[in-house]
Structure 1
Amino acid sequence: MNKRLQVLIVDDEELARRLSQEYLRAHPDIEIIGECETGLEAVDAISKLNPDLVLLDIQMPQLSGLEVLELTGRRSGVIFTTAYDQYALKAFDLHAVDYLLKPFSQQRFDEALIKARKLLAEQTLSSTQAIQTLVTQQSEKLQRLLIRDRGQVHVVSLESIDYVEAQDDYILIHAAGKSYMKTQSLSDLEAQLDASKFVRVHRSFLLQISALQAMEKTSKDSQVAVLKNGEQVPVSRAGYERIRALLN
């Protein structure tokens, strides 16, 4: 006997969750193992339950569906649901990931499940690649940083960041008097940020230019950036030229 597919329903609208429950009753090979109404709940449930399939709303308060995927690392076994075709429809049409455009019928729901079963059975990379593409595209338009640390999710606004420091395979984000560790390279983060606001001042440091108070020479060829909060960040020769170019 084949193993029943375990499904997690994620949607901030109760009526939408009820509809998914109703449609799933027609599929005895599927077991609903949980429901979430916020992105934060979904991050916790996906990590703990590891469902075979996630019915995931895109637009939700606190965290969007794509931000949930970014935090959990989930890249397969996802059917997106959305009421905004202008946001997702064209993107999904280009890939093998399925979507359900609200309001959707039982027939359309069943078609999505058939596609999901096939992808799960074949263990193809198409779904994984499509989701990764969407998450990357979302990350390219950063408005805030999502950081998961010891079971907690921190949402850090870009405006609050003073500087970011590279440490081995991690980056240390210094914002509003606090520090957060995130698994990401400094170069990857730099590519996602506004180059008119964040400048690479050193091989290991990325500085928000608005946090800068003054520049001080420490030796003939060395300088430090003195921040408004009193902290100091080393500045390389190339980094100094980048700062000058931004300030001029």
Structure 2
Amino acid sequence: LIEHPPAVIFTTAFDEYAMRAFESHAVDYLLKPFSKDGFEKAVKKWREQHPSQGSAPAELLETAAMSPSQSQRIVVKNGAKIKIIPAHEVLFLEASDDYVKVHTREGSFLKNKTMAYFEKVLDAQQFARSHRSYIVNVQYITRLDQYEKDGHIAILSNGAKVPVSKSGYSKLRTVLGL
């Protein structure tokens, strides 16, 4: 019926259900607590059994990451806590090595994603790439000032200054309706 049935790895503290799990064509059955290594072996086992579908998990993850809910919030780890930041509270995003720094009125938080990822998932009517290292929430822009020859600076409602490149200025003008 289903061309590519989903790969299922059961994770439970009860070993009495293992036979039923394998009867339902489970990839593996891991007893809790299980190690990261054990889980990786189970995934490797599935990939070896289904080489033509090797890219499917990556595609599924990318699709799930771009779901509408991801465009409305950003989830970050803050020490041992997980913080959910509504997208409308984000002032701007700044590239920082292999991370993106998410700036809010409460502070800055690091997220292990790329600027390209955020450019794809965030609402293009609310967020614009102002510079190769910055994405700005246009709702917080109070003015655009000339800076150097071809550059500009976006001044935000909290006083933050975000660089705007020549191409970024063109994008901002379009989004702002100028």
In which range does the TM-score fall when normalised by the shorter chain? 0.7 to 0.9
- Post-superposition offset of 1:125: 4.8
Deviations 1:159-198 (A, max 9, x none): 1111000122221111232211122221222122221111
SS of the residue corresponding to residue 52 of structure 1 reads helix
Whether 2:18 is the aligned partner of 1:24: answer: yes
1:33 partner amino acid:
K
2:155 is equivalent to residue 226 of structure 1:
yes
Which digits, 9 at most, give the CA deviation of each residue in 1:36-59, with x for residues without a partner? Answer: xxxxxxxxxx8xx32635xxxxxx
1:191-210 aligned at under 5 Å gives the runs 191-210=120-139
Runs of 4+ aligned structure 1 residues displaced above 6 Å come to: none
**Mapping 1:1-248, distance limit 5 Å:** 8-9=11-12, 23-24=17-18, 32-34=31-33, 49-50=35-36, 52-53=38-39, 77=42, 119=46, 122=48, 124-125=50-51, 129-141=55-67, 142=70, 143-148=72-77, 150-248=79-177
Cα distance in 2 for residues equivalent to 1:144 and 1:77 = 31
How many pairs are equivalent? Answer: 161
- Identical-pair percentage: 27
Q: Aligned partner of 1:24: which letter?
A: A
Work out the CA distance in 2 between the residues paired with 1:171 and 1:239: 18
**Residue type of the partner of 2:137?**
Q
Residue identity in the other structure for 1:160? E
In structure 2, the gaps of 5 or more residues are 1-8, 22-27
Residues in 2 aligned to 1:188 and 1:243: alpha-carbon distance in whole angstroms = 19
Paired position in structure 2 for 1:111? none
CA-based RMSD: 3.4
| Structure 1 partner of 2:25 | none
What is the rounded CA distance, in whole Å, between the counterparts of 1:32 and 1:144 in structure 2? 33
Q: TM-score, normalised by structure 2?
A: 0.72
User: Any idea what SS the aligned residue of 1:187 has?
Assistant: helix
Per-residue deviation at 1:129?
2.6
CA contact (8 A) 1:197 1:208 kept: yes
Contact 2:90 2:104 in 1 (8 A): yes
Q: 2-side partners of 1:125 and 1:209: how far apart?
A: 45
Taking the aligned partners of 2:79 and 2:54, their CA distance within structure 1 comes to 26
Find the counterpart in structure 2 of residue 58 from structure 1.
none
* 1:26 Cα deviation from its structure 2 partner: 5.8
The answer for unaligned runs of 5 or more in structure 1 is 1-5, 10-16, 35-45, 54-73, 79-116
Contact kept? 1:8, 1:51, Cα under 8 Å: no
Distance change (3 Å), C-alpha of 1:234 and 1:31: closer
TM, length-normalised to structure 1: 0.54
